[in-house]
Structure 1
């Protein structure tokens, strides 16, 4: 028996790997990576997370060892929160520049704060790294280590990974939804937008090339774009079956939605639990995500007025000043156990900014949504939720209290929304378990690497990838190639 136990331990040890997690320092990203780390640790791997002091609790809660930056880090999107609500051309330009400036500052802080001696001493077998732009500067760390890495996140960037996703069939995240009913103009705008974004906001647009010379000085000269392409594979935390529209899959580019899904736990005893349990006419959960601690006063006043005469109770995350017109049926809290509230028996509606993680949680628990997008992919997420019948969407910046209240009333009174989102929930729960799928691919890459998963087009420039040279040749010579009868 002792001999059998010895060999069992020996076999188990050979399959165990030392894995480093590198999320972008932002609440929802760190929480997602912590759940991923917990799943990998359950597989027998040793998992560490590189993170700032002020978010280390998310990793430790899942039993992961933290490699600390040694200080608190400002969440990557928090500094631009005040610029998210100006939709004018000048406001959008200011937001663009703020994101770029914030990205550069974040890169400096993080790359200087990495405890390189500790990281290098650990001899990691694999790094799972956040693919969020514009802070792909963090790819300098696994490049410095000479360690293989998997890109993980919700930033859908198929062209950089040479996935043949055509703008005629796939909507641009943040701009268009493309369906079989889309018009020529829709497809034209979507194509122009994709090309413009690729040219003006490439994946590493806020990354200073000098970072590689400074923080990976002993490695061969390269570019951040090339380092990104050298990922062993990409794992996208995106749902492409009943929430988003189907997208092109590839062996090296896997969609695995719901990595952060967890069953709802009972609410902690106290005022919040009493408030939710006593919502006999239903509970509405309102959250604008971890990037937005508070919304402008005039928009907050609109929401409070919209909620005032509802028979349901409303619990809302807000760090801002309590509005004077806050009605009695509304509870404001600086923090919400969002997943547990969405899974509460009394919850009937989720009012959300449309962040990917929150939207997936709503689907997991079968809760219809009113989406009030603010930034980035949230606008696309709002449209896809409406298109799929999972709820409605409004522009928070221009909607009146009456419009918000009417939208809430329609969703709650028409059973089609709840039926639609609950059907999607059943479909998702029937799919392969997300964490097991992720563990499979991580273990596969640990055993074999990822080069055999990648298409031969990985290193082609985009003009060759999209056959523009072939199209140009045919355009110039097509007449000469036509039969004489056709020419006549």
Structure 2
């Protein structure tokens, strides 16, 4: 009887959460939050596109709403990587570079267009909308990198919690918090928070490119969606800025210090956890490395692998090392592969990085991998491919925990030399272990902090008291341009009045002197 009543109480306290996720590595993060909320007794409904890579249709964690979608990037990222390498080596003409950049913008535009089309199909489906309204959700949890969930939350008039680092216009902080470009580097710039004058000029230009992309590539799709379904004028950036809570996938052990806002909750490394035992065959392989240890290599999910000629050189370097290597690699095996290297299509990355035998991590610099490396204190050899990866690795390199090897400089010789430094210079491991201690030294775990704030929004039907209303101000008011103009006008009037008074006095004296002489 007691157990029965306990279950009833749990059901009563459990919230009802509508989840609008983004696929790929973003889903890996979202699933961690879903698992945490499910463990606390909340009911979750996930909107799943039919073209999803990772989001399973059936799960004990959530109920699925299936929405038709036809997004297909094909092998674009693999081709884009090949051309990027040619660009960095100076083997691509300006016309070819312009062509691939236009194709890249087109692909980004098309992805957001598909997201808007999916939201439009949801809104147009009267039965589905009725179901969503009848469920009486407490909030919408979404990743605003693709902002369909933001629009849907506004349509359903529900509180909005965002699992965020990226939004439609770039890095999330630039939309929600003061972001002086004098010491806050724009993603893609490759700069730190200590910039020279020339770097600050370039940083401003990078920011201008992001604004242009948002205005002409991404923004029009959401503007059309808002104009169609909402009476009031709105734009996607304003809707994003009006979110109740921003669960930011960063912490300042990793990121450069910057201004922030009270509704930005930092949960960097929330997906990290103590390592679990490896599968028996993998554990046997790791233990066979002996005192030399293991190197883990993974370049993420967007590309199948490096071009074959590069993979051949890397495999040849690995073959000469005394360490064992576990390499996540898709496609054909390099012919130079050594007996000490094991290729896998999937690996328990967190468990491998937490294994005492792991000596180094060769990675592309995705946020998840970088934060797992910090959590476990493993030095990194970074090979950035695109997006934010160079900036992520730069932050580790600035703190002495990583070395970056750019694609344009990647060869068998440079890879071997850089890897030897990461393996045998104790400073890299020491610095990463220091970052690990700093990251872990928190009053609450990042995941617990994130779950608390999700439940806070459930309990209080939002968190408007933490949200600045500055986003409702026009730009000239936000930057006090109108106030400055008024003050400058007053000063100018006082100066003119003073000049006029002086001239009047001087002219009067001159007139009196002239009369006296006459």
Q: 1:59 to 1:443 in 2, by over 3 A?
A: farther
The higher radius of gyration belongs to 2
Separation in structure 1 between the aligned mates of residue 248 and residue 279 of structure 2, nearest angstrom: 32
Separation in structure 2 between the aligned mates of residue 387 and residue 479 of structure 1, nearest angstrom: 48
Please report the TM-score for the alignment, with normalisation by the length of structure 2.
0.82
Q: 1:265 to 1:10 in 2, by over 3 A?
A: closer
Separation in structure 2 between the aligned mates of residue 479 and residue 282 of structure 1, nearest angstrom: 73
Contact 1:264–1:341 (8 Å) recurs in 2: yes
Cα distance, 1:381 vs structure 2: 0.7
What per-residue deviation string (whole Å, max 9, x for no partner) do you get for residues 234-287 of structure 1? 1110121x22212222111222211211221112233x3332221221111111
Separation in structure 1 between the aligned mates of residue 265 and residue 358 of structure 2, nearest angstrom: 32
Contact 1:54–1:73 (8 Å) recurs in 2: no
Unmatched segments (≥5 aa) in structure 1: none
Residues 1:450 and 2:463 are matched in the alignment: yes
Q: 1:477 to 1:187 in 2, by over 3 A?
A: farther
- Secondary structure at the aligned position of 2:275 is classed as coil
Q: Which of 263, 271, 282 is the equivalent residue of 2:274?
A: 263
Residue 96 of structure 1 corresponds to which residue in structure 2? 105
- Give the 5 Å matches for 1:26-425: 26=24, 28-52=25-49, 54-57=53-56, 60=59, 63-69=60-66, 79-87=76-84, 88=87, 89-90=97-98, 91-109=100-118, 112=121, 116=129, 118-132=131-145, 135-155=146-166, 156-161=171-176, 163-179=177-193, 181-202=194-215, 204-205=218-219, 207-212=221-226, 217=229, 222-240=234-252, 242-270=253-281, 272-280=282-290, 281-425=292-436
Q: 1:116 to 1:410 in 2, by over 3 A?
A: same
Separation in structure 2 between the aligned mates of residue 77 and residue 235 of structure 1, nearest angstrom: 31
Separation in structure 2 between the aligned mates of residue 264 and residue 206 of structure 1, nearest angstrom: 45
Unmatched segments (≥5 aa) in structure 2: 88-96, 499-518
Separation in structure 1 between the aligned mates of residue 198 and residue 351 of structure 2, nearest angstrom: 43
Separation in structure 2 between the aligned mates of residue 329 and residue 103 of structure 1, nearest angstrom: 44
What per-residue deviation string (whole Å, max 9, x for no partner) do you get for residues 332-382 of structure 1? 111111111111221111111100111101111111101111111111112
Residues 1:462 and 2:480 are matched in the alignment: no
Structure 1 range deviating more: 45-54 or 286-295: 45-54
Separation in structure 2 between the aligned mates of residue 351 and residue 302 of structure 1, nearest angstrom: 14
Superposition RMSD in Å: 3.1
Contact 2:162–2:245 (8 Å) recurs in 1: yes
- Secondary structure at the aligned position of 2:312 is classed as helix
Cα distance, 1:298 vs structure 2: 2.5
Separation in structure 2 between the aligned mates of residue 471 and residue 186 of structure 1, nearest angstrom: 28
Separation in structure 2 between the aligned mates of residue 401 and residue 463 of structure 1, nearest angstrom: 54
Q: 1:190 to 1:268 in 2, by over 3 A?
A: same
Cα distance, 1:184 vs structure 2: 1.9
The count of aligned residue pairs is 471
Separation in structure 2 between the aligned mates of residue 299 and residue 473 of structure 1, nearest angstrom: 62
More helix by share: 2
Structure 1 range deviating more: 415-424 or 248-257: 248-257
Separation in structure 2 between the aligned mates of residue 309 and residue 478 of structure 1, nearest angstrom: 75
